[in-house]
Amino acid sequence: MKQIYTKTGDNGTTSLRDGVRVAKDDPRINANGQIDQLNAHLGIVRSMLEDDEANAKLIHAVQRELMVVMSHIATPEGSVNPRELHAADLVQQLEDTIDRADYKGGFVVPGGGSTLAAFIHLARTQARTVERTLWTLNRQYPVEESILVMMNRLSDYLFVLANEKE
């Protein structure tokens, strides 16, 4: 069995994509931790949706893209990341889905309708946290604009989806 621990992080550092060592509280590591948490929340939501439901497929596509985003966030300046971003395509899919939704407006108190809707709201709030974290990161390490837009649109989509599932 392959060993999971390396002990290389025991001194408070971790590696970026090309092996560059940074502090574990580096803003890029923090941003990726927030994205990882969002991905876990989305996994809960997706597990509660029907497998063939269009929303489950869209959320799975978002989850896969979040992994690419994390790779780009962890790529040091001056290095090239070979993983292609598809965030702009996902923005269009999210907008199309939002536009087709039967959203009647208004806010809801999470947990008042269904467990699924409550978990979607949890994912939505984490998406907003990721968005704020990425804007903070962007001041020090430029973040691709399509990633920032995708995070904004994702939280809008999750709000509408939670409203539908209430």
145: CATH:
1.20.1200.10
What DSSP letter does each residue of 40-69 carry, written as one string? Answer: HHHHHHHHHS-TT-HHHHHHHHHHHHHHHH
Q: How far apart are CA 19 and CA 162, in angstroms?
A: 40
Confidence band of 146 (pLDDT split at 50, 70, 90): very high
pTM for this structure?
0.92
Longest Cα–Cα distance in the chain: 53
Report yes or no: 43 and 120 within 8 Å, Cβ to Cβ.
Answer: no
Query: What Rg, from alpha-carbon coordinates, does the chain have?
Result: 17
Domain presence at residue 1: no
Give the domain range for residue 21.
13-165
Condensed to tens digits (0 to 9), the pLDDT of residues 28-64 reads 999 999 999 999 999 999 999 987 799 999 999 999 9
Domain presence at residue 53: yes
- Tally the domains of the chain: 1
Q: How far apart are CA 58 and CA 88, in angstroms?
A: 14
